[in-house]
Chain A
Amino acid sequence: MSPLPVTILGGYLGAGKTTLVNALLRRAGGLRLAVLVNDFGALPIDADLIEGRDGDMLTISGGCICCSYGSDLVGALLDLAARRPGPDHVLIETSGVALPGAVARSLGLVTGLSLDGIVVLADAETLPARAADRYLADTIARQIDAADLLLLTKLDLLSPEAAASRRAWASESWPRARVAAASRGDVPPDLVLGLSRGDRPVASMAAHPLPGYATMVLAVERPVADVQAFAAALAGASPLLLRAKGFVTGISGARFAIQVVGRRAEVSPAPDATMSPDALVCIGLPGMPREALLAAPGSLAALREMAPGMSRRWPAPPRDDARAGIA
């Protein structure tokens, strides 16, 4: 059984985590998402999404669930990992003062889980003050230090010039994180939760362009000598690349899944049942340089850009209204 992917959603109070969680639940599009929240204090889920409540668990329309874990995250993960049928994907919303990096390390204590990525939200308006606060500075810094993706919220409350300079400041302050905007929860679920989840073909992303983002599909035309180096080179190819996922064949003939989140690159054996051809789907910010992506892995492999949704080998997925709603 392939491991259950877990995305960690961190960030201080007021960063917009709850807003984003609700937006993701609305757009889950058939993905059975299990959301773990620190508490049910101020009821984090929009009432119209809730189908029922059983103690610490809410059932959400579309097959999703939401549980509170209080101070026992690992206990909640153990329960979730033992659940049958299990969810497709887990999203952990950490408390405002938790360190997402520490949460990520705890995932390794539960068998059957794998870290998808660490996404940290920050309120662009208040971030500079918080990052200098006598009580919070080190906590905020450690939260964002661990981020694969730093999503700045409330940029729309700033002037365009101020927003641009705030993004630039954040990128300079936390060079490891890839920075993107995410006001009012308006983020493609694929960016937060990963590409090609569940049984969806790798290239299905390409059928639905994401406004405000660039997507690109790269075919891998021959076996890759060093898959790990290939993945790492891709992750470092451009600061505008946010996520990538796909499959490649090694020179031994074995197939591997590659996942890139920010600068994090993971390589794992491809599931046996994988039908997708050797290709990579990339999501990035507008202006994501195709040349850099194509050139980055150097001579390790031959990459060729494919027109989104045009491949005969990859039929477009069945129309899905919920997913279409993203656009």
Chain B
Amino acid sequence: MIVVHEARKILTMNPARPVASHVAVRDGIVLGAGTHEELAGWGPHALDRRFADKVLMPGLVEGHSHASEGTLWHHVYVGFFDRLDPEGRTWPGATSIDAMVARLAAAEAALADPAQPLSGWALDPIHFGGRRVARGDLDRVSATRPIGVMHASGHILNVNSRALELAGMLRGGIDHPGVPLGEDGLPTGEMKGPDAMTPVGRHVGFERDLLSADEEGFRRFGRLCARRGVTTATDLANPLPPAAADMMLRVAGEESFPARIVALRLMRGISPSEVVAHALELRARSIDRLRFGMIKVVADGSIQGFSARLRAPGYYNGAPNGLWYVAPEDLREVYARALAAGVQIHTHTNGDQATELALDALEHALRLHPWHDHRFTLQHCQLADAAQFRRMKALGMCVNLFPNHHFFWGDQHYAMTVGPERAERMNACATALATGVPLAIHSDAPVTPLGPLFTAWCAVNRRTASGRVLGGAERIGVADALRTITLDAAWTLRLDGEIGSIECGKRADFAVLEDDPETIGAEKLKDVRIWGTVLGGRVQEAAAL
């Protein structure tokens, strides 16, 4: 059965015929993009005109996200910015502490069991003018029910007095950098970092492991993808224990699952040799909508948490250098083993010293085990300088930069973490393109909202939350930005032969848009309305999900 879709415009990302009016699909595969007349040659077909007033482009590819975004929607959204949930509801931003308290109070009123914890997520008090959230704020919601609110970064948890009490931490004498104390000598309720979060997290509904989605969360993540025009998304750092892998295979195997997921095996609590073996074992179980077989390594921490590893001259405010999350020897070993086994690695490097280590490690490992098409990818890589991009090019690496971060926290990077000059060159998309390093851009959802067109807007405009253009020289054009969220992102996942453009032989994965991202204007790229997606030829209207 052949279906020919007619559209107002089809952006194919195929440079040989960049624009078309029709696309023919059979068995989930594109037969061709062109005119109706050209496509009629394939034989009898049904003409589907429901997209006649819409714009199609290749299904968007999110190269760095986490399916745990779906799980976080079990908690009450209290972020500063409006955010779309997996069911299609847009939650207005909670733009003050009072608004956050009111939102939580409304949710609290709906809970019957007085012992049941109440939890929220996506708090970002950086936008509250320097005022931190304290337990007293959350005590206004309830003094008897444990309450916890996770920050947008995922690195800080605010709790109320009851939660501290249950954790045995409403006491004096605590001496820990992650537990600020009030004038009364008791914790303020702001718990920073995993060590401080764990004892209270288990009393407020945030269990220790946020890395794997549960089943309902995984389903929600799939729906969210379809609403954002995403047909392929990564679950970039999953330990993939047997139960999680089995669940994901079962759910993604359902005909109606609305996205393709690429799940990378996180190297944590496992040796280099074992993680490579596990990735290979998982790869053999891949199905059409769920791909395994790659590895994620985290080399350092975060810049705003001052745990990223920076080269000299280090942090602008003089903070000591950050932490290695992997031993350099282990990084060298896993690179060598993965190259030998044909397993691709994506490496989180936030600071430029972490990037330098990854470059050194790969250069060395490639001498031992040459692989001409390894596509090892640096993720975030926010502080890389031009020389490092040239080394990435020379070594055959890809990069996936983080323009969303620039929007949400760029002002803080300018003022505090890395200072003006490096804040302006952070997430150097233009340098990556000029150097010829294959480039993708990402949201790191749930850290920032999933939405590649928003991410593209960030890369094109480089505006921060305050409206400042930060590093205008690193802005990229709309056409380049659209390629980074489709074909080039697919390249970093070794899927560019299957997805990322609309042309003969590729998967019929489309984003269905109400507006034309090529002509709406760079300033409005984030406002492009999304009708839904087509996944392997199956039409998924967001409003009907």
Contact = CB atoms under 8 A, between A and B. Distances in A.
A99 B301 CA distance: 14
B179 interface: yes
Contacts of A139: 323-324
A71 interface: yes
B244 to A, nearest CB: 14
Contacts of B537: none
A41 B195 contact: no
Given A96-B327, A105-B175, A75 B271 contact: no
A214 to B, nearest CB: 34
A316 B175 CA distance: 40
Given A74-B198, A108-B175, A109-B169, A12 B327 contact: yes
Given A38-B269, A40-B269, A110 B324 contact: no
Interface in A125-182: 133, 135-136, 138-139
B195 A97 contact: no
B194 A71 contact: yes
A88 interface: no
A41 B327 contact: no
B15 interface: no
Contacts of A73: 195
A135 B208 contact: no
A72 B174 contact: no
A29 to B, nearest CB: 30
Nearest to B197: A74
Contacts of B274: 41
Interface in B186-244: 194-196, 198-199, 202, 208-209
Contacts of A95: 327
A39 interface: yes
Contact of B271 (A41, A70, A109): A41
A42 interface: yes
Contacts of A70: 268-269
Contact of B199 (A68, A69, A74, A102): A74
B156 to A, nearest CB: 15
Interface residues on A, range: 20 to 34
B169 A97 contact: no
Contact of A74 (B194, B273, B320, B325): B194
B176 interface: yes
Contact of B208 (A12, A40, A42, A72): A72
Contacts of B194: 71-72, 74
A42 B353 contact: no
A78 interface: yes
Task: Pick from B169, B268, B274, B324 the residue with the most CB of A within 10 Å.
Answer: B324
Interface string A39-59: 111100000000000000000
Nearest to B328: A135
Given A38-B269, A135-B353, A109 B327 contact: no
A71 B323 CA distance: 14
A111 B172 CA distance: 12
A176 B194 CA distance: 29
A1 B208 CA distance: 28
A24 to B, nearest CB: 22
A225 interface: no
26 contacts: A13-B327, A39-B270, A40-B269, A41-B274, A42-B271, A68-B269, A70-B268, A72-B209, A74-B199, A75-B208, A78-B199, A95-B327, A96-B327, A96-B330, A97-B323, A97-B325, A97-B326, A105-B177, A106-B195, A108-B174, A108-B175, A109-B196, A111-B168, A135-B357, A138-B321, A139-B324
Given A70-B269, A75-B208, 4 more contacts: A13-B329, A71-B269, A74-B198, A96-B330
